[in-house]
């Protein structure tokens, strides 16, 4: 089926599950470009016109449901003899898989799941749709933890047709209600019983009833009591156990009236106010002696075969009484005749005939029972171990001992694809021939979709890469259009299906524009400075200023020499216009700072001269007297002033005149 197109638009990609009624595939809706689940009905159901008609009606009813906890149905169709339903694809796992991995579940988690299922059932019941096959296999958990109930419609269609045609019940024997076990039509409260079983399994990790065959399990639903959840897990509060007791009452009249009522009870089941709640006692179990004989009761309808059986029973009892009267001693017979003179003694021959007839009947019944048991008794077989086998080998092994494999796939980090992770029942257990054996089969390591990192900054995504993938590499690339650190490309591509633990990720990251170093330009001519900047890949801006330096000499630059900058940036140079007369003179002027013994002081020296106003040329902390040499620049029109500050206070001020400098 893989690669086949169904309905002209659904491309089948992979089988993701199979059961007794249908096979489920992941498919691509080419028209709407989305992933869907395609459920294809098995051929034995597709050949029944009555079933197909009901199947269509129920699927249409299920499609009318719109609820966040119900799997959406998108389409229904037929191709040749194949019938299919197109459903919402849920990326996640079944509740059964979740229970297998985490049971027993945290109580808050179990209650939350139960409330979501109740909400879905309440919506369905209000739309007059009964599920009839509530079990963990039909409940999905998506990657965000939301519950999705599936298989509405199909379960109802199958159960109704099968009962009508064969007089048997098709369903999940561990989860169906006592009335389903009897073959009575299931109702709203049947779904609540099944949900009670699911809650029991989530909280304890065990099923309430199990046995060697489906019939033995069904009988336990009808007749036996289950082990109280608190005996298996004492920390379960009584208020929560009471929810299960009420949901799993064998008589529907004692269960919740609706899924909404059960939801409201679950909402408060873990609240402190109900911590000391008493055990809920069912009338069917604990009130038998005080029961009012006039109470209204639910009485099964009388069927023709029941009337026939009753008539036969009355005849048998009459024959038995006749035989006992015929065999009494004469004295007792006379007493009998005295007490009831209206009773006539039967002739001996007639009594003998009745006796022979009864013995003959009993003999025939005994023979029938003996041969019937031999004829209809289903032999036991021992379940072989198929764990870790390939799926094909496991199928052959089970079918070789007349057992039916039921496949359910799930991802696995440890087991190779298409190999058996787990089997139920376990190996070496005795079961009846033709029983089903559930196989959990590996899909290989869990797959996911590669996220899109392009356009993001590498510092924001490195935490997502570390530990999740097999490895990751970062390659840097000069790029004029994207800021440094921006991810330009990735491998694998975004949206590609991957196994994270086997995937090496490569990210190409922008380094920004190409770097260059700023050359030293002071003292050069304007032409020389421009040539140096052009060689370094930088652009130039020129500004002129009055100065005593020769005309055209660079006296300042906007970017510090030897700094690394991006190519193409502007550097502004200040060029002397040579307009001031005379020449500038530079001199080192000594400055002495004296301290008292043990004194410590902060020194700051400022200069105002031809090179600038109020420039700080030195700061330090000294612990002894020191001498400093201070450079100043003087011109014919600009003398120099030196100010020395000690601990923030002016300590000394000196003036250096142009005329005093040689």
Contact by Cβ (8 Å): 13, 28: yes
Give the CATH number of domain 92-286.
Answer: 1.10.510.10
CB atoms within 10 A of CB 553: 19
Nearest by Cα to 591 from 661, 651, 657: 651
Q: For position 342, what pLDDT does the model report?
A: 44
Which fold would CATH assign to domain 585-660?
A: Immunoglobulin-like (2.60.40)
Residue-wise pLDDT for 286-302, tens only, equals 333 334 444 333 333 43
Q: Place 410 in a pLDDT band, splitting at 50, 70 and 90.
A: confident
Position 350 scores a pLDDT of 61
CA distance 448 to 494: 11
- At 465 the pLDDT is 82
Q: pLDDT grade, residue 581 (50/70/90)?
A: low
CATH assignment of 5-88, among 3.40.190.10, 3.40.640.10, 3.60.15.10, 3.30.200.20:
3.30.200.20
User: Out of 29, 119, 122, 133, which one is annotated catalytic?
Assistant: 133
User: Which has the closest alpha carbon to 23: 5, 47, 45, 55?
Assistant: 45
Say whether 39 counts as a known binding-site residue.
yes
pLDDT at 202 over 80: yes
pLDDT-derived band at 171 (thresholds 50, 70, 90) equals low
Instruction: Give 311's DSSP letter.
Output: H
pLDDT for position 348: 56
Report whether pLDDT(96) > 90: yes
Helix H or strand E segment including 643:
strand 640-646
197 C-beta neighbours (distance < 10 Å), count: 25
Phi, psi of 599 (to 5 degrees): -80, 150
Q: Do domains 380-442 and 515-576 have the same CATH topology?
A: yes
Parse the chain into domains and list their residue ranges: 5-88, 92-286, 304-376, 380-442, 448-510, 515-576, 585-660
> Is residue 367 scored above 50 in pLDDT?
yes
Average of pLDDT values for 530-543?
Answer: 92
Tokens of 475: 């390659």
Higher pLDDT, 44 or 485: 485
Q: Which architecture, in CATH terms, is 380-442?
A: 2-Layer Sandwich (3.30)
Q: pLDDT-derived band of residue 157, with 50, 70 and 90 as boundaries?
A: very low
User: Residue 366 — very low, low, confident or very high, per pLDDT cuts 50/70/90?
Assistant: low
**Of 226-240, 310-324, 381-395, the least confident:** 310-324
Q: Can you tell me whether residue 207 is helix, strand or coil?
A: coil
Angle, nearest 10°, between helix axes 238-247 and 107-126?
30
Work out the average pLDDT over 495-504.
86
Residue 190's pLDDT band, with cuts at 50, 70 and 90, is: very high
| Confidence category of residue 378, pLDDT binned at 50, 70, 90 | low
The span from the CA of 392 to the CA of 66, in Å, is 40
What was the pLDDT predicted at 371? 57
Choose the weakest-confidence range: 92-101, 133-142, 180-189, 578-587. Answer: 578-587
Give the Cα-Cα-Cα angle 153, 159, 163 (nearest 5 degrees). Answer: 150
- Here the tokens at position 363 are 């003999």
Supply the DSSP symbol for 394. Answer: H
Average pLDDT, the chain: 82
DSSP β-bridge partners for residue 496: none
133 is catalytic: yes
Domain 448-510 belongs to what topology? Trypsin Inhibitor V; Chain A (3.30.10)
Q: What is the pLDDT of residue 164?
A: 34
pLDDT in the model for residue 373: 53
> What CA–CA distance (Å, rounded) separates 333 from 338?
9
Q: Are 55 and 152 in contact (CB under 8 A)?
A: no
User: Mean per-residue pLDDT for 369-383?
Assistant: 67
Report the pLDDT value the prediction gives residue 374, as an integer from 0 to 100: 52
**CB-hemisphere CA count at 13 Å for 28?**
8
List of residues 6+ apart from 235 with CB closer than 8 A: 107
pLDDT per position as a tens digit, 473-496: 999 888 877 888 899 999 999 888
Q: What is the pLDDT of residues 610-659, one digit of tens each?
A: 888 899 999 999 999 999 999 998 887 788 999 999 999 999 999 999 88
| Degrees, nearest 5: CA angle 108-109-110 | 95
Q: Is the pLDDT of residue 466 over 60?
A: yes
Q: Please give the DSSP secondary-structure letter assigned to residue 638.
A: B
Q: Are 258 and 122 in contact (CB under 8 A)?
A: yes
- CATH classification of 515-576, choosing from 3.30.10.20, 3.40.190.80, 3.30.360.10, 3.40.50.300? 3.30.10.20
Q: CA dist 311 to 301, 306, 315, Å? A: 17, 9, 6
Q: How far apart are CA 319 and CA 223, in angstroms?
A: 33
Yes or no: say if 421 and 442 are a contact pair by the CB < 8 Å rule: yes
CA dist., res. 468 & res. 452, Å (int): 15
- DSSP for 87-136, please give it: EE---EEEHHHHHHHHPSPPHHHHHHHHHHHHHHHHHHHHTT-------G
pLDDT band at 332 (very low <50, low <70, confident <90, very high): very low
Lowest pLDDT segment from 82-96, 537-551, 618-632: 537-551
Distance CA 142, CA 306 (A): 50
d(CA 217, CA 454): 57
């Amino acid at each position: 089926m893989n690669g086949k197109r169904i309905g002209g638009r659904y491309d089948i990609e992979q089988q993701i599950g199979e059961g007794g009624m249908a096979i489920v595939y992941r498919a691509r809706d080419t028209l709407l470009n989305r992933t869907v689940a395609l459920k294809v009905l098995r051929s034995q159901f597709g050949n029944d016109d009555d079933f197909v008609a009901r199947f269509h009606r129920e699927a249409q009813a299920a499609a009318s449901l719109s609820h966040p906890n119900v799997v959406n149905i998108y389409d229904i169709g037929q191709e040749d003899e194949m019938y299919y339903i197109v459903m919402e694809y849920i990326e996640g796992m079944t509740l059964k898989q979740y229970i297998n991995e985490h049971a027993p579940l945290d109580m808050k988690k179990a209650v939350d799941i139960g409330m979501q299922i109740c909400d879905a059932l309440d919506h369905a019941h209000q739309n007059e749709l009964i599920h009839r096959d509530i079990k963990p296999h039909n409940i999905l958990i998506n990657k965000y933890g939301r519950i999705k109930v599936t298989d509405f419609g199909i379960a109802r269609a199958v159960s109704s047709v099968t009962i009508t045609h064969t007089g048997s019940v098709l369903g999940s024997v561990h989860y169906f209600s006592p009335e389903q076990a009897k073959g009575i039509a299931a109702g709203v409260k049947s779904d609540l019983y099944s949900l009670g079983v699911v809650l029991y399994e989530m909280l304890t990790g065990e099923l309430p009833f199990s046995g060697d065959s489906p019939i033995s399990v069904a009988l336990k639903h009808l007749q036996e009591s289950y082990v109280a959840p608190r005996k298996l897990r004492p920390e379960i509060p009584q208020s929560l156990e009471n929810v299960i007791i009420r949901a799993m009452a064998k008589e529907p009249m004692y269960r919740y009236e609706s899924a909404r009522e059960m939801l409201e009870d679950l909402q408060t089941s873990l609240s402190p106010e109900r911590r000391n709640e008493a055990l809920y006692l069912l009338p069917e179990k604990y009130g038998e002696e005080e029961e009012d004989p006039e109470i209204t009761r639910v009485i099964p309808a009388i069927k023709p075969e029941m009337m026939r059986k009753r008539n036969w029973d009355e005849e048998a009892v009459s024959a038995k009484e006749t035989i006992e009267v015929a065999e009494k001693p004469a004295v007792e017979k006379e007493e009998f005749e005295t007490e009831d003179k209206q009773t006539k003694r039967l002739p001996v021959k007639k009594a003998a005939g009745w006796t022979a007839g009864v013995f003959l009947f009993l003999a025939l019944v005994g023979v029938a029972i003996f041969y019937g048991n031999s004829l209809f008794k289903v032999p036991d077989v021992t379940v072989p171990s198929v764990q870790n086998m390939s799926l094909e080998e496991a199928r052959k092994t089970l079918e070789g001992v007349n057992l039916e494999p039921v496949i359910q796939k799930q991802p696995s980090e440890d087991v190779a694809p298409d190999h058996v992770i787990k089997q139920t029942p376990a190996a070496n257990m005795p079961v009846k021939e033709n029983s089903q054996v559930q196989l959990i089969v590996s899909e290989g390591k869990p797959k996911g979709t590669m996220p899109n990192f392009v356009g993001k900054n590498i510092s924001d995504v490195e935490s997502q890469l570390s530990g999740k993938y097999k490895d990751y590499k970062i390659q840097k690339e000069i790029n004029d259009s994207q800021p440094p650190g921006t991810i330009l490309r990735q491998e694998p591509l975004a949206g590609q299906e991957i196994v994270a633990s086997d995937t090496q990720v490569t990210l190409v990251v922008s380094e920004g524009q190409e770097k260059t170093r700023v050359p030293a330009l002071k003292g050069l001519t304007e032409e020389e400075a421009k040539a140096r900047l052009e060689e370094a890949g930088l652009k130039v801006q020129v500004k002129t200023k009055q100065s005593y330096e020769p005309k055209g000499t660079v006296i300042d630059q906007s970017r510090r020499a030897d700094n690394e900058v991006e190519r193409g940036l502007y550097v502004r140079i200040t060029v002397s216009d040579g307009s001031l007369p005379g020449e500038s003179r530079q001199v080192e002027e000594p400055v002495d700072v004296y301290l008292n013994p043990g004194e410590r002081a902060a020194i700051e020296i400022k200069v105002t001269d031809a090179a600038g106003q109020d420039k700080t040329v030195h700061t330090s902390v000294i612990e002894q007297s020191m001498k400093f040499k201070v450079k100043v620049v003087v011109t014919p029109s600009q003398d120099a002033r030196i100010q020395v500050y000690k601990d923030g206070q002016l300590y000394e001020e000196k003036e250096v005149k142009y005329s005093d400098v040689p």
